[in-house]
Amino acid sequence: MTPHLPMAGRGGGEFDQLRAIFERLGAAAGDLGDDCALVPLGDATLALSIDASLEGVHFRTEWLSFEEIGWRAAGAALSDLAAEGAEPVGVLVSLGLPARKGGSGERGAVEPGAEIMAGVGACVASVGAKVLGGDLVRSERYLVDVAVIGTVTRPVRRRGARPGDGVWVTGVLGGAARALAALRDGRSIDQETRARFARATPRIAAGTWLAARGATAMIDISDGLAADAAHLAAASGVALEIDLERVPCWPEVDPLAAVASGEEYELLVTLPAAFTQAEAQGLAQSGEVRLTRIGACVAGAGVRLSAHGRVVPAPAGWDHFAP
Amino acid sequence: MTPHLPMAGRGGGEFDQLRAIFERLGAAAGDLGDDCALVPLGDATLALSIDASLEGVHFRTEWLSFEEIGWRAAGAALSDLAAEGAEPVGVLVSLGLPARKGGSGERGAVEPGAEIMAGVGACVASVGAKVLGGDLVRSERYLVDVAVIGTVTRPVRRRGARPGDGVWVTGVLGGAARALAALRDGRSIDQETRARFARATPRIAAGTWLAARGATAMIDISDGLAADAAHLAAASGVALEIDLERVPCWPEVDPLAAVASGEEYELLVTLPAAFTQAEAQGLAQSGEVRLTRIGACVAGAGVRLSAHGRVVPAPAGWDHFAP
pLDDT in tens, A53-83: 999 988 999 999 999 999 999 999 999 999 9
CB contact under 8 A, B42 and A41: yes
Residues 6 or more apart in contact with residue A53 via CB below 8 angstroms: A2, A59, A69, A72, A73, A76, A143, A144, A145, A146
Tens digit of pLDDT for each residue in B89-148?
A: 999 999 999 987 655 444 455 689 989 999 999 999 999 999 999 999 999 999 999 999
Of A26, A31, A54, the CB nearest to B96: A54
CB contact under 8 A, A14 and B90: no
CA distance from start to end of chain A:
18
Using a CB-CB cut-off of 8 Å, the residues of chain B touching A321 are 136
Chain A CA closest to residue B140: A140
pLDDT band at B164 (very low <50, low <70, confident <90, very high): very high
Q: Do the Cβ atoms of A214 and A91 come closer than 8 Å?
A: no
User: What pLDDT score was predicted for residue A263?
Assistant: 87
Of A4, A32, A139, the CB nearest to B54: A139
Most A-contacting residue of B7, B15, B21 (CB-CB within 10 A), to test interface = B21
User: What pLDDT score was predicted for residue A142?
Assistant: 96
Residue A153 scores a pLDDT above 50: yes
Q: How many Å apart are CA A14 and CA B116, to the nearest integer? A: 14
User: What pLDDT score was predicted for residue A56?
Assistant: 92
CB contact under 8 A, A42 and B44: yes
CB contact under 8 A, A145 and B135: yes
pLDDT band at B160 (very low <50, low <70, confident <90, very high): very high
Mean pLDDT (whole number) for A178-183 = 93
Using a CB-CB cut-off of 8 Å, the residues of chain A touching B132 are 27, 31, 37, 39, 48
* ipTM for the predicted complex: 0.89
Chain A CA closest to residue B2: A135
**Mean pLDDT for chain A overall:** 87
* Domains, chain A, with CATH or none: 13-151 (3.30.1330.10), 166-312 (3.90.650.10)
CB contact under 8 A, B26 and A121: yes
Share of chain A above pLDDT 90, in %: 73
CB contact under 8 A, A92 and B151: no
A164/chain B closest Cα distance in angstroms: 32
State the sign of the Cα–Cα–Cα–Cα dihedral A65, A67, A68, A74: positive
User: What pLDDT score was predicted for residue B6?
Assistant: 29
- Could you give the angle at the alpha carbon of B310 between the alpha carbons of B304 and B312, nearest 5°? 50
Q: How many Å apart are CA A33 and CA B237, to the nearest integer? A: 48
Most A-contacting residue of B87, B92, B321 (CB-CB within 10 A), to test interface = B92
Residues 6 or more apart in contact with residue A283 via CB below 8 angstroms: A170, A206, A209, A210, A289, A290, A291
Mean pLDDT (whole number) for B31-38 = 78
Mean pLDDT (whole number) for A145-157 = 96
Most B-contacting residue of A145, A148, A153 (CB-CB within 10 A), to test interface = A145
A147/chain B closest Cα distance in angstroms: 7
Share of chain B above pLDDT 90, in %: 73
CB contact under 8 A, A21 and B117: yes
Q: What is the model's pTM?
A: 0.90
Strands B239-243, B291-298: pairing kind: antiparallel
Mean pLDDT (whole number) for B32-51 = 88
CB contact under 8 A, A132 and B54: no
Residue A8 scores a pLDDT above 80: no
Using a CB-CB cut-off of 8 Å, the residues of chain B touching A31 are 132-133
Mean pLDDT (whole number) for B254-259 = 94
Of A39, A43, A96, the CB nearest to B52: A96
Mean pLDDT (whole number) for B268-289 = 93
pLDDT band at A313 (very low <50, low <70, confident <90, very high): confident
| More reliable by pLDDT, B83 or B288 | B83
Using a CB-CB cut-off of 8 Å, the residues of chain B touching A135 are 1-2, 50-52, 145
Residue A103 scores a pLDDT above 60: no
pLDDT band at A23 (very low <50, low <70, confident <90, very high): low
User: What pLDDT score was predicted for residue B286?
Assistant: 83
Of A21, A118, A145, the CB nearest to B145: A145
Chain B CA closest to residue A49: B133
CB contact under 8 A, B48 and A149: yes
| More reliable by pLDDT, A234 or B322 | A234
User: What pLDDT score was predicted for residue B262?
Assistant: 87
Q: How many CB pairs under 8 A join A and B?
A: 239
Residue B29 scores a pLDDT above 50: no
Residues 6 or more apart in contact with residue B311 via CB below 8 angstroms: B304, B305
> Burial code of A210-228, b = ≥16 C-beta within 10 A, e = fewer?
bbebebbbbbbbbbbbbbb
User: What pLDDT score was predicted for residue A314?
Assistant: 66
Of A42, A43, A57, the CB nearest to B137: A57
Using a CB-CB cut-off of 8 Å, the residues of chain B touching A93 are 50
Which of B130, B275, B257 is CA-nearest to residue B216? B275
User: What pLDDT score was predicted for residue B14?
Assistant: 54
